[in-house]
Structure 1
Amino acid sequence: MAKIIKLSETITVGNETLHELELDFNSLRGLDLLEAEKEARALGDESVMLTLSMTYHAAVAAKISVLSYDDVINLKGDDFTKVTNAVFAFLMGKG
């Protein structure tokens, strides 16, 4: 399942200008989730339940999109919220 997020403003990643962001949940593997957990922990996230952590959500989003973690966390607030909410919904089985 892929989720398309319409961005409120265009962003440039490399040489590509994006008006929307595809989150490819079908490409996600357990290893990706474990790597995202390690990244979140290395960034200082001490959440007991990572499924509630926006740091973890951003790390997961970076795994399933063309964006890096830094790109994800630098999205406008409403776009960041759309992306992290989509990841949260997926992790909770609602995606």
Structure 2
Amino acid sequence: MNIIFKKPVNFEGVEHLSIDLNFDALTGKDLLKAEAEVRAMGDRTPAVSFSMKYQAAVAAQAAKVPVEMILSLPAREFSRVTMLVQNFLFNED
């Protein structure tokens, strides 16, 4: 799923016009890796699927980018991306 940003996003000196969230390529290991990553960041949300940090980490796994890129998105783009992850995690179309 290719998400085109409303404005270019600069991350580490590289301008990004979009991000490709390939949820179909994710495995259980990817989800566990995302959970471990956010737990190491201090996230203690009991139901991790509801954590925006976890959703950002899942998006990063799906896009094969560092989680820091997702976290650095402008708020509107970040919300859009995490909402798509929520829909994926909770099996909503």
Q: Scaled by the length of structure 1, what TM-score is found?
A: 0.87
- 1:6 is displaced (CA, Å) by 2.0
Question: What SS does the corresponding residue of 1:64 show, helix, strand or coil?
Answer: helix
Q: Which runs of 5+ in 2 are unaligned?
A: none
> Percent identity, aligned pairs only?
32
CA RMSD across the alignment: 1.7
Per-residue CA deviations over 1:14-34 (Å, capped at 9, x if unaligned) read: 786432211000110000000
Q: Which residue in 2 is equivalent to 1:88?
A: 86
Alignment map for 1:56-95 (pairs within 5 Å): 56-95=54-93
Query: Aligned AA for 1:60?
Result: V
Q: Which residue in 1 is equivalent to 2:42?
A: 44
Query: Aligned AA for 1:50?
Result: V
Alignment map for 1:22-41 (pairs within 5 Å): 22-41=20-39
Question: What SS does the corresponding residue of 2:9 show, helix, strand or coil?
Answer: strand
Question: What SS does the corresponding residue of 1:5 show, helix, strand or coil?
Answer: strand
- 1:51 is displaced (CA, Å) by 1.2
- 1:67 is displaced (CA, Å) by 2.4
* 1:15/1:46 CA distance change after superposition, 3 Å: closer
Per-residue CA deviations over 1:39-93 (Å, capped at 9, x if unaligned) read: 1111111111111100000111111114211111000000001111110110000
Q: Scaled by the length of structure 2, what TM-score is found?
A: 0.89
| Whole-angstrom CA distance in 1 between matches of 2:16 and 2:64 | 10
- Please identify runs of 4+ aligned residues in structure 1 that moved more than 2 A: 11-18
Q: Which runs of 5+ in 1 are unaligned?
A: none
